[in-house]
Structure 1
Amino acid sequence: MKCNTLFAALFMVALASTAVAQHNHAGHNHTMPGQTMASELVRPVAGPHGGSLKQAGGVQLETVVSQGGIHMFVYDRNGQAVAINQGRGAASLRVEGNAKRYRYDLLPDGKGGLTAPVNLSQIAGRQIEIDVQLVGIESSSGKPLSLKEVATVPASEMQLAAAAIARQKICPVSGKPLGSMGDPVAVDVNGQRVFVCCGGCVNTVKSDPAKYAAGRPQITVATSTAADAQAIAKQKVCPVMDEPLGGMGTPIKVTVGDKPIYLCCKGCIKKVQAEPAKYLAMVYGDQKGSGGVGSEGVNVGDFSIAVTSSTQADAPLITRQKVCPVMDEPLGSMGDPIKVMVGDKPIFLCCKGCIKKVQADPSKYLAMVYGGGSSGSVPAGTEQVREGIFKVSAEDAPFIAAQKKCPVMDEPLDAMGGPYKVHAAGKAIYICCPGCAKKIAAEPQKWLAVLAQQGVNAPTLR
């Protein structure tokens, strides 16, 4: 009871403050006739669900943004919840830096609120602008309510950890890429988290926290010796200049953690010191050393994979492919493209750092370059998000990778909670959000043609 009394008191203070503000700004109401616009409270007050409160038409509106969608709650002047069983609304959402808007219906959720369920996890940490329109709210005298809100989609603990790992990149003890030894392990160092590649490095960090607090490995520079000859022969070329080791004098040995990288000359040292993770990956690969400099050929599942430099004879194929499927960079922008033969099909890459990605998942990159696989068909789908909109499965993955963007919004397929699958004249089209389905259903051939113009062959439904 004390909690409810305090909440009601906060509402009364907020309402009084807003009334004064409205009196002092008479004549500056820019709402449409018959519509009540929510105004910000002079002192922001958090609602009982942790959202922000604004006043409109004699009621208080609480907006809660989560990774699961947008939630609205309505209260009267005394802070008591208003029944919204007959209420409806729409939320128009715009992501910071993007001019496009996405519309979602707000419907009663059976728990006292209006909800637009949409997966916002892909834009966690991003600021969004929301325009809300509500109708059928009992205490609003039958007038529509309008609300503008700016919020940030909260990041989950897992996403915060993933972002920290992505920033740190490598283990400060071993110098290995984080993730190359399984899930990274977090170590508390003076109140901040430092990630290491495995449990074996934890005690090393704890024994000398000041040394590892920055989350970067120790880097030492020396001239290579005869004892390094075997390692130099295995590495073959400098990862910075792509020059043969020994071609510019005795190779330089840069040790990142416990991993040596050999360079053609002293001029390359600063590059490795600035981006140690990049060059560790080029020499050792992200997965058990695969894909490093000097790799010749490997077998992955049913594919034989060989790596060579492209030649003048490859020019027409490079022109047709245009961009690297790993980095989405123009071919030739980082030197001569790398040619990776997956079976009898060439894939051209912007640099050697991309080799390991193709070796790890050749089917994915074949689909991106040549279209959706050999079968060219996917299951129609049984699990519907809404009528006619289906969840995707593992079988859809290569076709999603090949399509890349939603043909309606021209957005990445995972930009707004997707991808989702819709049926179009016996074929599957992937979309970024449920709002795009109606347009494809109305003109399926139009959107199949749009994909065809982009070089995408939509898979057949089965």
Structure 2
Amino acid sequence: MKRIAIITACSLALTASSAFAQTTDSHRDHAGLDQVASGVPTAGEIAPAGPRGGHLAQTGNLQIETIVSHDGMQMFVYDRAGEPVSIDQSRGVVSVRVQGVAKRYRYDLLPDSKGSLNAHVDLSQVAGRQINLDVQLVGITARTVQYQEIVTVPGSEQQRAAAAIARQSTCPVSGKPLGSMGDPVAVNINGENIYVCCAGCTDTVKSNPSKYAVSRPQITVAAATAADAAAIAAQKTCPVMDEPLGGMGTPVKVMVGEQPIFLCCKGCVKKVQAEPAKYLAMVYRDDDTAAVPAGTEQVREGVFQVVAADSPFIAAQKKCPVMDEPLGTMGGPYKVNAAGKAIYICCPGCAKKIAAEPQRYLAVLKSQGVEAPTIR
């Protein structure tokens, strides 16, 4: 009986917000989202990541993590220390508006078995789009909790593939622009897709996968241990959140190739996985550990095969400064020593020009925002 009374009170509190109700449509009208699915996807705003990888909003003494998927929305509630808050007696409503569209859609938020307030709704029709959320929750504190959030519905498989193709831009075998010979073909290497311009290039990649995946550093994740204490103290802050390491529990250790990056929580891992070169540069920009080995396997005098430690720097450099071509287009990348710095080239033939004018080509890279690593 007591539970029924609480639920009734919660329902009355939500109904009483007439201004909110008047600006939204019934959740029974959620099929109307289909009408706005044809817009161009827009990039989401960067927000702090919660323990489950969602967007984290601060409201009063609470932190609320919003997770959006194609199946709907979940809200997890934490106190200021990051401990979960029970939502068993809570209820809520969320008003959803797709950016660029005036109409709003209203959905109930109800407790689920995972400890969240959940709204089951098909959001696949607006995959890749930004949505504005107006949220009201009752039963958590004495007062109604209200907050707003802007999130991006995860992209569809097709959208993610299109974004990956745009980032890669060229075929690593032929050097031709992806799309110039029809739809690019995906070749899976260690769980990641590398795109080639045509089916004729797939066997080349499969026969030597390490060569074509070298620009993709291997990334592994683990909890930091006592042996990492000195490195954590030296790094001090999480490069994603700019928060002190240890402020959200034991730091997470992410190995990008052979170099560690420490993060405040698991929610930051996805950012590093998406842009490893960016975060390596942030962590090691003023440190001699932004260095790579000189190389032992010589292709010809002064030209070396690359190794795993070179991967993040190859990903950051992208193009040969001599030929202005992608590094993988002519059998490379290869590594040369330019006044103590590593420059990556597309073919051994470019080495002579760099040896003759190392500072010129280091300056070319610097003008592109690339800081060549030190050769140790």
TM-score, normalised on structure 2?
0.35
Between structure 1 and structure 2, the one with the greater Rg is 1
Query: Which protein has greater RCO, CA pairs closer than 8 Å, 6+ apart?
Result: 2
